Amino acid sequence: MIPRYTLPEMGTLWSEQNKFQKWLDVEIAVCEVHAEMGVIPREALEEIKTKAKFLVERINEIEKTTDHDVIAFTTNLAESIGDAARFVHYGLTSSDVVDTANALLLRDSCDILLRKIEALLEVLKRRAFEFKRTPQIGRTHGIHAEPTSFGLTFALWYDEMRRNRARLQAARERVAVGKISGAVGAFAHLDPVVEEKVCARLGIKPALVSTQIIQRDRYAEYLSVLAIIASSLDKFALQVRHWQRTEVREAQEKFKRGQKGSSAMPHKRNPILSERICGMARTVRANSIVGLENVALWHERDISHSSAERIVLPDSSAALDYMLQKTASLLDGLVVYPERMLENLNATRGLVFSGQLLLALTQSGVSRETAYEWVQRNAMKVWDEGGDFQTLVAADPDIQKHLSNEQIKKSFSLDTYLRNVDVVFDRVFNNSLEQSS
Protein backbone atom coordinates (compact mmCIF):
# COMPACT_ATOMS: atom_id res chain seq x y z
CA MET A 1 0.00 0.00 0.00
CA ILE A 2 1.28 3.46 -0.81
CA PRO A 3 2.47 5.49 2.21
CA ARG A 4 -0.49 7.90 1.87
CA TYR A 5 -2.88 5.20 3.09
CA THR A 6 -0.59 3.22 5.42
CA LEU A 7 -0.76 3.82 9.16
CA PRO A 8 2.46 3.31 11.17
CA GLU A 9 1.61 0.15 13.12
CA MET A 10 0.30 -1.81 10.14
CA GLY A 11 3.07 -0.44 7.94
CA THR A 12 5.71 -1.68 10.39
CA LEU A 13 4.02 -5.07 10.64
CA TRP A 14 4.16 -5.62 6.88
CA SER A 15 7.61 -4.09 6.38
CA GLU A 16 10.43 -6.10 4.82
CA GLN A 17 12.32 -5.82 8.09
CA ASN A 18 9.52 -7.42 10.08
CA LYS A 19 8.86 -10.08 7.43
CA PHE A 20 12.45 -11.29 7.63
CA GLN A 21 12.34 -11.06 11.43
CA LYS A 22 9.34 -13.41 11.40
CA TRP A 23 11.28 -15.74 9.11
CA LEU A 24 14.12 -15.69 11.63
CA ASP A 25 11.66 -16.35 14.47
CA VAL A 26 10.50 -19.48 12.66
CA GLU A 27 14.05 -20.65 11.91
CA ILE A 28 15.09 -20.14 15.55
CA ALA A 29 12.01 -21.97 16.84
CA VAL A 30 12.80 -24.94 14.58
CA CYS A 31 16.42 -24.97 15.82
CA GLU A 32 15.25 -24.88 19.44
CA VAL A 33 12.96 -27.87 18.91
CA HIS A 34 15.67 -29.74 17.01
CA ALA A 35 18.11 -29.12 19.87
CA GLU A 36 15.50 -30.34 22.39
CA MET A 37 15.12 -33.55 20.39
CA GLY A 38 18.88 -34.01 19.97
CA VAL A 39 18.85 -33.46 16.21
CA ILE A 40 21.35 -30.57 16.39
CA PRO A 41 23.95 -29.80 19.10
CA ARG A 42 23.01 -27.44 21.94
CA GLU A 43 26.16 -25.43 21.32
CA ALA A 44 25.10 -24.88 17.72
CA LEU A 45 21.71 -23.58 18.90
CA GLU A 46 23.32 -21.07 21.23
CA GLU A 47 25.65 -19.91 18.49
CA ILE A 48 22.75 -19.49 16.08
CA LYS A 49 20.64 -17.56 18.60
CA THR A 50 23.54 -15.34 19.57
CA LYS A 51 24.94 -14.56 16.15
CA ALA A 52 22.01 -14.74 13.72
CA LYS A 53 21.55 -11.37 12.03
CA PHE A 54 20.26 -10.13 8.71
CA LEU A 55 20.22 -6.94 6.67
CA VAL A 56 17.40 -6.31 4.20
CA GLU A 57 19.81 -4.56 1.85
CA ARG A 58 22.20 -7.54 1.91
CA ILE A 59 19.39 -10.04 1.32
CA ASN A 60 18.22 -8.03 -1.70
CA GLU A 61 21.77 -7.91 -3.02
CA ILE A 62 22.22 -11.69 -2.71
CA GLU A 63 18.82 -12.30 -4.32
CA LYS A 64 20.01 -10.58 -7.48
CA THR A 65 22.19 -13.67 -7.95
CA THR A 66 20.05 -16.41 -6.39
CA ASP A 67 16.64 -15.28 -7.70
CA HIS A 68 15.33 -16.90 -4.49
CA ASP A 69 14.54 -14.78 -1.48
CA VAL A 70 14.62 -17.56 1.14
CA ILE A 71 18.02 -18.76 -0.06
CA ALA A 72 19.23 -15.16 -0.04
CA PHE A 73 17.94 -14.87 3.53
CA THR A 74 19.63 -18.06 4.80
CA THR A 75 22.83 -17.10 2.97
CA ASN A 76 22.86 -13.76 4.77
CA LEU A 77 22.26 -15.54 8.10
CA ALA A 78 25.21 -17.87 7.41
CA GLU A 79 27.46 -14.84 6.92
CA SER A 80 26.82 -13.79 10.51
CA ILE A 81 26.52 -17.23 12.17
CA GLY A 82 29.47 -19.11 10.75
CA ASP A 83 29.86 -22.91 10.90
CA ALA A 84 26.72 -23.53 12.97
CA ALA A 85 24.66 -22.12 10.10
CA ARG A 86 24.58 -25.61 8.59
CA PHE A 87 21.89 -26.46 11.14
CA VAL A 88 19.68 -23.53 10.11
CA HIS A 89 16.79 -24.54 7.81
CA TYR A 90 17.55 -28.18 8.63
CA GLY A 91 14.96 -30.44 6.94
CA LEU A 92 12.86 -27.48 5.85
CA THR A 93 11.53 -26.22 2.56
CA SER A 94 11.08 -22.51 1.88
CA SER A 95 7.33 -22.55 2.43
CA ASP A 96 7.76 -24.04 5.88
CA VAL A 97 9.34 -20.73 6.81
CA VAL A 98 7.34 -18.35 4.62
CA ASP A 99 3.87 -19.76 5.32
CA THR A 100 4.46 -20.20 9.04
CA ALA A 101 5.75 -16.63 9.20
CA ASN A 102 2.70 -15.51 7.20
CA ALA A 103 0.54 -17.04 9.92
CA LEU A 104 2.24 -14.75 12.44
CA LEU A 105 1.83 -11.70 10.22
CA LEU A 106 -1.81 -12.40 9.45
CA ARG A 107 -2.60 -13.14 13.09
CA ASP A 108 -1.03 -9.87 14.19
CA SER A 109 -2.77 -8.03 11.36
CA CYS A 110 -6.12 -9.38 12.55
CA ASP A 111 -5.35 -8.15 16.06
CA ILE A 112 -4.71 -4.61 14.80
CA LEU A 113 -7.88 -4.66 12.72
CA LEU A 114 -9.95 -6.04 15.60
CA ARG A 115 -8.80 -3.17 17.82
CA LYS A 116 -9.87 -0.71 15.12
CA ILE A 117 -13.26 -2.41 14.89
CA GLU A 118 -13.68 -2.06 18.66
CA ALA A 119 -12.93 1.66 18.40
CA LEU A 120 -15.50 2.06 15.61
CA LEU A 121 -18.10 0.12 17.62
CA GLU A 122 -17.68 2.55 20.50
CA VAL A 123 -18.32 5.51 18.19
CA LEU A 124 -21.37 3.86 16.63
CA LYS A 125 -22.88 3.03 20.01
CA ARG A 126 -22.36 6.55 21.35
CA ARG A 127 -23.91 8.22 18.32
CA ALA A 128 -26.80 5.74 18.24
CA PHE A 129 -27.86 6.74 21.75
CA GLU A 130 -27.17 10.41 21.03
CA PHE A 131 -29.73 10.42 18.19
CA LYS A 132 -32.02 7.68 19.46
CA ARG A 133 -35.10 9.90 19.37
CA THR A 134 -34.08 12.22 16.54
CA PRO A 135 -36.71 11.90 13.77
CA GLN A 136 -35.55 11.58 10.18
CA ILE A 137 -37.30 10.66 6.99
CA GLY A 138 -36.60 7.10 5.91
CA ARG A 139 -36.02 6.60 2.20
CA THR A 140 -36.60 3.63 -0.06
CA HIS A 141 -35.56 3.78 -3.72
CA GLY A 142 -34.19 7.21 -2.79
CA ILE A 143 -37.77 8.45 -2.25
CA HIS A 144 -39.29 9.60 1.04
CA ALA A 145 -40.96 6.61 2.69
CA GLU A 146 -41.83 6.89 6.40
CA PRO A 147 -40.29 8.63 9.42
CA THR A 148 -37.61 6.78 11.37
CA SER A 149 -35.03 7.45 14.06
CA PHE A 150 -31.63 8.78 12.98
CA GLY A 151 -30.13 6.79 15.84
CA LEU A 152 -31.43 3.56 14.31
CA THR A 153 -28.99 4.01 11.45
CA PHE A 154 -26.06 3.88 13.88
CA ALA A 155 -27.62 0.95 15.75
CA LEU A 156 -27.92 -0.89 12.43
CA TRP A 157 -24.28 -0.19 11.60
CA TYR A 158 -23.21 -1.23 15.11
CA ASP A 159 -24.92 -4.60 14.67
CA GLU A 160 -23.29 -5.04 11.26
CA MET A 161 -19.83 -4.24 12.59
CA ARG A 162 -20.39 -6.72 15.40
CA ARG A 163 -20.96 -9.39 12.75
CA ASN A 164 -17.82 -8.22 10.99
CA ARG A 165 -15.89 -8.57 14.22
CA ALA A 166 -17.09 -12.18 14.54
CA ARG A 167 -16.12 -12.86 10.92
CA LEU A 168 -12.62 -11.51 11.46
CA GLN A 169 -12.19 -13.43 14.70
CA ALA A 170 -13.09 -16.62 12.85
CA ALA A 171 -10.73 -15.78 9.99
CA ARG A 172 -7.96 -15.12 12.53
CA GLU A 173 -8.32 -18.66 13.82
CA ARG A 174 -8.01 -20.10 10.33
CA VAL A 175 -5.01 -18.06 9.17
CA ALA A 176 -3.02 -18.50 12.40
CA VAL A 177 -1.86 -21.92 11.22
CA GLY A 178 1.69 -23.02 10.42
CA LYS A 179 3.34 -25.97 8.74
CA ILE A 180 6.75 -27.58 9.16
CA SER A 181 6.17 -30.65 7.01
CA GLY A 182 8.72 -30.46 4.20
CA ALA A 183 8.71 -30.28 0.43
CA VAL A 184 5.35 -31.98 -0.23
CA GLY A 185 3.91 -31.99 3.28
CA ALA A 186 4.67 -35.67 3.93
CA PHE A 187 7.22 -35.15 6.77
CA ALA A 188 9.88 -37.08 4.85
CA HIS A 189 12.76 -35.45 6.75
CA LEU A 190 10.97 -34.18 9.85
CA ASP A 191 9.12 -35.70 12.76
CA PRO A 192 5.56 -34.31 12.91
CA VAL A 193 6.30 -33.54 16.56
CA VAL A 194 8.68 -30.82 15.34
CA GLU A 195 5.79 -29.06 13.61
CA GLU A 196 3.59 -29.31 16.70
CA LYS A 197 6.27 -27.96 19.03
CA VAL A 198 7.38 -25.16 16.69
CA CYS A 199 3.83 -23.94 16.22
CA ALA A 200 3.19 -24.08 19.96
CA ARG A 201 6.30 -21.95 20.57
CA LEU A 202 5.06 -19.40 18.04
CA GLY A 203 1.54 -19.27 19.47
CA ILE A 204 -0.23 -20.74 16.44
CA LYS A 205 -1.73 -24.11 15.52
CA PRO A 206 -0.24 -26.64 13.11
CA ALA A 207 -2.17 -27.48 9.96
CA LEU A 208 -3.70 -30.93 10.30
CA VAL A 209 -2.45 -31.69 6.79
CA SER A 210 -0.67 -29.66 4.13
CA THR A 211 1.18 -29.93 0.86
CA GLN A 212 4.32 -27.83 0.43
CA ILE A 213 2.15 -24.89 1.45
CA ILE A 214 -0.65 -23.88 3.75
CA GLN A 215 -3.82 -24.23 1.71
CA ARG A 216 -4.91 -20.92 0.24
CA ASP A 217 -8.59 -21.18 1.12
CA ARG A 218 -7.41 -19.79 4.47
CA TYR A 219 -5.95 -16.68 2.87
CA ALA A 220 -8.98 -16.38 0.59
CA GLU A 221 -11.21 -16.30 3.65
CA TYR A 222 -9.08 -13.60 5.25
CA LEU A 223 -9.19 -11.43 2.13
CA SER A 224 -12.90 -12.07 1.65
CA VAL A 225 -13.68 -11.04 5.21
CA LEU A 226 -11.63 -7.88 4.71
CA ALA A 227 -13.65 -7.22 1.56
CA ILE A 228 -16.94 -7.65 3.44
CA ILE A 229 -15.80 -5.25 6.16
CA ALA A 230 -14.63 -2.75 3.54
CA SER A 231 -18.05 -3.03 1.89
CA SER A 232 -19.74 -2.18 5.19
CA LEU A 233 -17.55 0.90 5.54
CA ASP A 234 -18.35 1.74 1.91
CA LYS A 235 -22.06 1.60 2.80
CA PHE A 236 -21.61 3.89 5.81
CA ALA A 237 -19.56 6.41 3.84
CA LEU A 238 -22.00 6.37 0.92
CA GLN A 239 -24.81 7.27 3.31
CA VAL A 240 -22.79 10.21 4.66
CA ARG A 241 -22.25 11.38 1.08
CA HIS A 242 -26.00 11.35 0.55
CA TRP A 243 -26.67 13.25 3.80
CA GLN A 244 -24.12 15.88 2.78
CA ARG A 245 -25.69 16.64 -0.61
CA THR A 246 -26.74 20.28 -0.72
CA GLU A 247 -30.38 19.39 -1.33
CA VAL A 248 -30.38 17.06 1.69
CA ARG A 249 -27.82 18.50 4.14
CA GLU A 250 -28.92 16.43 7.13
CA ALA A 251 -25.35 15.70 8.20
CA GLN A 252 -21.86 16.38 6.90
CA GLU A 253 -18.21 15.64 7.42
CA LYS A 254 -16.47 17.90 9.89
CA PHE A 255 -14.82 20.75 7.95
CA LYS A 256 -11.74 21.94 9.82
CA ARG A 257 -10.26 25.42 9.83
CA GLY A 258 -7.99 25.93 6.83
CA GLN A 259 -9.50 23.05 4.86
CA LYS A 260 -10.21 23.72 1.17
CA GLY A 261 -13.03 22.10 -0.76
CA SER A 262 -12.20 23.17 -4.30
CA SER A 263 -9.37 24.94 -6.07
CA ALA A 264 -11.90 26.86 -8.20
CA MET A 265 -14.96 27.28 -5.92
CA PRO A 266 -14.17 28.61 -2.43
CA HIS A 267 -17.66 27.83 -1.12
CA LYS A 268 -17.35 24.05 -1.52
CA ARG A 269 -17.48 21.57 1.35
CA ASN A 270 -17.02 18.18 -0.27
CA PRO A 271 -17.36 14.75 1.40
CA ILE A 272 -13.78 13.86 0.47
CA LEU A 273 -13.14 11.40 3.29
CA SER A 274 -16.33 9.48 2.61
CA GLU A 275 -15.49 9.34 -1.09
CA ARG A 276 -11.98 8.13 -0.26
CA ILE A 277 -13.39 5.31 1.88
CA CYS A 278 -15.76 4.30 -0.93
CA GLY A 279 -12.92 4.29 -3.45
CA MET A 280 -10.59 2.24 -1.27
CA ALA A 281 -13.31 -0.36 -0.69
CA ARG A 282 -13.18 -1.13 -4.40
CA THR A 283 -9.51 -2.05 -4.10
CA VAL A 284 -10.04 -4.33 -1.10
CA ARG A 285 -12.90 -6.09 -2.87
CA ALA A 286 -10.80 -6.54 -6.01
CA ASN A 287 -7.98 -8.03 -3.94
CA SER A 288 -10.34 -10.66 -2.53
CA ILE A 289 -10.76 -12.02 -6.06
CA VAL A 290 -6.99 -12.60 -6.16
CA GLY A 291 -7.28 -14.60 -2.95
CA LEU A 292 -9.97 -16.79 -4.49
CA GLU A 293 -7.91 -17.27 -7.67
CA ASN A 294 -4.98 -18.44 -5.53
CA VAL A 295 -6.88 -21.37 -4.02
CA ALA A 296 -6.39 -23.62 -7.06
CA LEU A 297 -2.70 -24.52 -7.59
CA TRP A 298 -0.97 -27.35 -9.42
CA HIS A 299 -0.43 -30.55 -7.46
CA GLU A 300 1.48 -30.04 -4.19
CA ARG A 301 2.10 -26.41 -5.16
CA ASP A 302 3.17 -24.01 -7.85
CA ILE A 303 4.31 -20.45 -7.38
CA SER A 304 1.58 -18.53 -9.21
CA HIS A 305 0.06 -17.41 -5.91
CA SER A 306 3.27 -15.99 -4.44
CA SER A 307 3.72 -12.81 -6.46
CA ALA A 308 0.08 -11.82 -6.06
CA GLU A 309 0.13 -12.44 -2.29
CA ARG A 310 3.09 -10.12 -1.86
CA ILE A 311 0.73 -7.37 -3.01
CA VAL A 312 -2.76 -8.24 -1.80
CA LEU A 313 -2.04 -9.44 1.74
CA PRO A 314 -0.22 -6.31 2.94
CA ASP A 315 -2.23 -3.94 0.75
CA SER A 316 -5.65 -5.15 1.86
CA SER A 317 -4.55 -5.22 5.49
CA ALA A 318 -3.16 -1.69 5.32
CA ALA A 319 -6.10 -0.34 3.34
CA LEU A 320 -8.72 -1.71 5.73
CA ASP A 321 -6.72 -0.54 8.74
CA TYR A 322 -6.74 2.98 7.28
CA MET A 323 -10.42 2.78 6.35
CA LEU A 324 -11.47 1.64 9.82
CA GLN A 325 -9.60 4.44 11.54
CA LYS A 326 -10.89 7.07 9.12
CA THR A 327 -14.48 5.81 9.37
CA ALA A 328 -14.35 6.03 13.16
CA SER A 329 -13.00 9.58 12.87
CA LEU A 330 -15.58 10.50 10.23
CA LEU A 331 -18.56 9.32 12.28
CA ASP A 332 -17.17 10.60 15.56
CA GLY A 333 -16.91 14.11 14.11
CA LEU A 334 -20.03 13.94 11.94
CA VAL A 335 -21.93 17.25 12.09
CA VAL A 336 -25.66 16.57 12.35
CA TYR A 337 -28.56 18.94 11.57
CA PRO A 338 -31.77 17.70 13.29
CA GLU A 339 -33.71 20.81 12.23
CA ARG A 340 -32.92 20.10 8.60
CA MET A 341 -34.09 16.53 9.10
CA LEU A 342 -37.46 17.84 10.23
CA GLU A 343 -37.64 20.18 7.25
CA ASN A 344 -36.99 17.28 4.89
CA LEU A 345 -39.46 15.08 6.75
CA ASN A 346 -42.16 17.71 6.17
CA ALA A 347 -41.11 18.47 2.60
CA THR A 348 -43.84 16.29 1.08
CA ARG A 349 -46.52 18.08 3.15
CA GLY A 350 -47.64 15.02 5.08
CA LEU A 351 -47.45 12.33 2.40
CA VAL A 352 -45.09 10.22 4.51
CA PHE A 353 -47.99 9.47 6.91
CA SER A 354 -50.05 7.73 4.23
CA GLY A 355 -49.30 4.25 5.57
CA GLN A 356 -50.56 5.18 9.03
CA LEU A 357 -53.74 6.62 7.52
CA LEU A 358 -54.24 3.44 5.48
CA LEU A 359 -54.13 1.32 8.64
CA ALA A 360 -56.54 3.63 10.47
CA LEU A 361 -59.09 3.19 7.67
CA THR A 362 -58.75 -0.60 7.61
CA GLN A 363 -59.23 -0.66 11.40
CA SER A 364 -62.43 1.32 10.94
CA GLY A 365 -63.87 -1.40 8.70
CA VAL A 366 -62.85 -0.29 5.19
CA SER A 367 -61.32 -2.97 2.95
CA ARG A 368 -57.62 -2.56 2.34
CA GLU A 369 -58.07 -2.14 -1.42
CA THR A 370 -60.68 0.60 -1.00
CA ALA A 371 -58.74 2.37 1.74
CA TYR A 372 -55.60 2.28 -0.45
CA GLU A 373 -57.55 3.87 -3.33
CA TRP A 374 -58.92 6.69 -1.15
CA VAL A 375 -55.55 7.51 0.39
CA GLN A 376 -53.68 7.27 -2.90
CA ARG A 377 -55.99 9.59 -4.83
CA ASN A 378 -55.36 12.33 -2.26
CA ALA A 379 -51.63 11.60 -2.18
CA MET A 380 -51.36 11.83 -5.96
CA LYS A 381 -53.13 15.17 -5.90
CA VAL A 382 -50.49 16.53 -3.53
CA TRP A 383 -47.71 15.12 -5.73
CA ASP A 384 -49.17 16.66 -8.88
CA GLU A 385 -50.85 19.87 -7.70
CA GLY A 386 -49.38 20.67 -4.28
CA GLY A 387 -51.40 21.41 -1.18
CA ASP A 388 -51.45 19.82 2.27
CA PHE A 389 -52.16 16.10 2.52
CA GLN A 390 -53.86 16.20 5.91
CA THR A 391 -56.18 19.02 4.79
CA LEU A 392 -57.17 17.11 1.66
CA VAL A 393 -57.79 13.91 3.61
CA ALA A 394 -59.91 15.71 6.19
CA ALA A 395 -62.07 17.09 3.37
CA ASP A 396 -62.49 13.76 1.56
CA PRO A 397 -66.15 12.69 2.01
CA ASP A 398 -65.37 8.95 1.88
CA ILE A 399 -62.70 9.21 4.57
CA GLN A 400 -64.85 11.56 6.68
CA LYS A 401 -67.51 8.84 6.94
CA HIS A 402 -65.09 6.46 8.64
CA LEU A 403 -62.59 8.61 10.57
CA SER A 404 -63.16 11.51 12.94
CA ASN A 405 -60.99 14.59 12.80
CA GLU A 406 -59.22 13.34 15.93
CA GLN A 407 -58.48 9.98 14.29
CA ILE A 408 -57.15 11.71 11.18
CA LYS A 409 -54.96 13.97 13.30
CA LYS A 410 -53.63 10.94 15.18
CA SER A 411 -52.73 9.32 11.85
CA PHE A 412 -50.34 12.21 11.23
CA SER A 413 -48.54 11.80 14.57
CA LEU A 414 -44.76 11.42 14.49
CA ASP A 415 -44.63 9.67 17.88
CA THR A 416 -45.99 6.42 16.46
CA TYR A 417 -42.89 5.94 14.34
CA LEU A 418 -40.53 6.27 17.31
CA ARG A 419 -42.52 4.32 19.88
CA ASN A 420 -40.59 1.04 19.48
CA VAL A 421 -37.09 2.46 19.18
CA ASP A 422 -36.37 1.43 22.78
CA VAL A 423 -37.24 -2.18 21.95
CA VAL A 424 -34.85 -2.24 18.99
CA PHE A 425 -32.08 -0.64 21.02
CA ASP A 426 -32.60 -3.22 23.74
CA ARG A 427 -32.24 -5.98 21.17
CA VAL A 428 -29.08 -4.52 19.68
CA PHE A 429 -27.21 -3.26 22.72
CA ASN A 430 -28.53 -5.58 25.46
CA ASN A 431 -29.05 -8.71 23.33
CA SER A 432 -32.51 -9.01 24.85
CA LEU A 433 -33.89 -11.02 21.92
CA GLU A 434 -31.04 -13.57 22.04
CA GLN A 435 -31.35 -13.89 25.82
CA SER A 436 -35.10 -14.48 25.64
CA SER A 437 -34.70 -17.19 23.02
Give dist(CA 277, CA 23) in Å, integer. 33
Q: What is the dihedral of CA 252, 253, 256, 260, to 10 degrees?
A: -90
262 carries an active-site annotation:
yes
Strand ranges in 141-275 using DSSP code E only, listed in sequence order: 143-149, 177-178, 205-206, 251-252
| φ, ψ of residue 53 in degrees (nearest 5) | -145, 160
Q: What are phi and psi of 139, to 5 degrees?
A: -125, 135
Percentages of the chain per state (helix, strand, coil), in multiples of 5: 70, 5, 25
H helix runs in 245-301, sequence order: 272-293
Residues making up the chain, counted from first to last: 437
Enumerate residues 6+ apart whose C-beta is below 8 A from 218.
174, 175, 177
Out of 141, 263, 267, 437, pick the active-site residue: 141
User: 68, 189, 262, 304: which one is catalytic?
Assistant: 262
- 274 flagged as catalytic: no
Single-letter amino acid code for the residue at 225: V
CA distance 422 to 382: 33
Which residues are part of the catalytic machinery? Answer: 141, 262
